[in-house]
Amino acid sequence: MRLVPHSLSGRLLAISALTTIVALLFAAVGIGHVLERFVIRGLDQQLDAQVAMLGRALRTDGTLDPARVVNLPVFEQPGQGWGWQVESARGRWTGGDAMTVRRSHRPLPQGPEEHGPADLGGKPGEGITATGEQVHTRERTVPTAMGDATIVAGGPRHLATAPLRAAMVPLLGSLAILGLLLAAATIVQLRVGLRPLRTLQAALADVRAGRARHVPEALPMELAPLAVELNALIDQNMTQLDHARRHVANLAHGMKTPLAALGMKLAESGRDPDGDLRAMVADIDGRVRHHLGRARATAPGSRHIVRTMLALAIRDLAMVMRGVHADRSIDVTIAVAPELAVAADPQDMAEMLGNLLDNAWRHARAAVTVSARCTASTIELAIEDDGAGLPQEALAEALVPGRRLDERGDGHGFGLPITQELAELNGGTLRLEQSALRGLRAVLTLPAT
């Protein structure tokens, strides 16, 4: 399982989503803590007032003067969870609902105006009533002649938690809506921010297709150096190809004169009565001219794009294969639309199709199928046979020059590698795979025109 997204936009979106979630959680916890302090402060003020009045009713000997005990109105209502307790060495006195105190270990932060030297309030704590209801308490320790006395007043906990819970529901909903808005803003930001990369990709496609010579350098400052380096690389490749074309031209011109002289000598000597040798010389001269023309046409930015009609070329070569393999009765099915054309040199196309059809014809048992389908910018031509095929691990070895996987026949193991090289020279690919006919399926992909 891949934890890091493969795309750049996916990585940025994942980082943004993670940081947004962490920030929203931190905001929810922080705002909830602030709300809790404000809600509990009102309850604490009521309890501190009762603690202060009980502190004034406490005698110096640690006993409580009942005549001076004054209860706030809420402490006079039984069964509501309001109660108080005074405990010293001289005894224990209670009022309101009976209460058991659990002292808190986390005192709330208090300001100096709330707990100065003259403050009569207490420290926060928790407790329960006799009915099991949770209460929020305030506690104060008062020194007496008989030792310290503890005064505790408590109120129902739900008076603080209910408003807090009611406030947190809309708060969490608002934070969720904020998170969705931030996610939408992040997606828009990524689309706008990564648009220069798509512009650079389209510019490179224009250079590769010959519609432009360089990519534009008027890009954001992070991508401008990359565009400059790409243009330098394009210029370097063009320079190297120009040198290569000149070498090929020199080689062609250097061979033309000896070939012409050889043809003349054969004609004058009379040693070639049937003209076979002169035909071979003419074929060599034609191949030299062909490769010279291809070197001139493959420069980056060249606007000269050759065009080969697929259906016509396949039909012609199928007729040739029937004559070459006259001893084999092979049923050929050609499913190629007549309007399909590829951006490839006709002689290169003839050599590629010839190698693939010859290979299929030699290994087929009874049938060879040729089909083609057109995509947005390419054409996939599939040639498959019903022969024995190749195992999956041997498909890659079939494209190694000189590697013969079948020793039958007079092949040399160069047909498929040459086809792959010609396909790549024309901007395409060649791949081998298992055929639905249980034989070999060769898929030739070339640019469409």
Write the pLDDT tens digit of every residue in 63-106: 999 888 888 888 887 778 888 889 998 898 988 876 665 554 33
pLDDT for residue 301:
45
Residues 6+ apart with CB under 8 A from 310: 336, 340, 341, 342, 372, 379, 381
DSSP structural state of residue 364: -
Q: How many CA atoms lie within 13 A of 414 on its CB side?
A: 3
pLDDT for residue 290:
66
User: What are the tens digits of pLDDT across the range 404-433?
Assistant: 445 444 444 567 888 888 888 788 899 888
Question: Are 340 and 309 spatial neighbours (Cβ–Cβ below 8 Å)?
Answer: yes
Backbone angles phi, psi at 138, to 5 degrees: -125, 135
Pairing between β-strand 331-335 and β-strand 367-374 as defined by DSSP bridges? parallel
What distance in Å separates the CA atoms of residue 445 and residue 433, rounded to the nearest whole number?
14
Average pLDDT rounded to a whole number, residues 299-310: 63
If pLDDT is split at 50, 70 and 90, which confidence band does 277 have?
Answer: confident
CATH number of 308-447: 3.30.565.10
What distance in Å separates the CA atoms of residue 150 and residue 147, rounded to the nearest whole number?
10
What distance in Å separates the CA atoms of residue 435 and residue 385, rounded to the nearest whole number?
7
Q: What CA–CA distances, in Å, run from 127 to 47, 71, 78, 158, 446?
A: 13, 19, 17, 13, 82
Q: Is the pTM of this model over 0.75?
A: no
pLDDT for residue 411:
45
pLDDT for residue 370:
94
What distance in Å separates the CA atoms of residue 86 and residue 144, rounded to the nearest whole number?
13
How would you list the strands of the sheet with 378-385, edge to edge? Answer: 331-335, 367-374, 378-385, 440-447, 429-434
Per-domain residue ranges for the chain? 8-103+117-164, 224-297, 308-447
H/E stretch holding 172 reads helix 158-193
Residue 303 in tokens: 């606007």
Sequence letter at residue 263? G
Average pLDDT rounded to a whole number, residues 255-270: 72
What distance in Å separates the CA atoms of residue 9 and residue 194, rounded to the nearest whole number?
8
Q: List 83's β-bridge partners, or say none.
A: 96, 154
What distance in Å separates the CA atoms of residue 265 and residue 277, rounded to the nearest whole number?
11
User: Hey, is 281 helix, strand or coil?
Assistant: helix
User: What are the tens digits of pLDDT across the range 154-197?
Assistant: 888 888 778 777 888 888 888 889 989 998 998 888 888 888 88
Average pLDDT rounded to a whole number, residues 55-67: 90
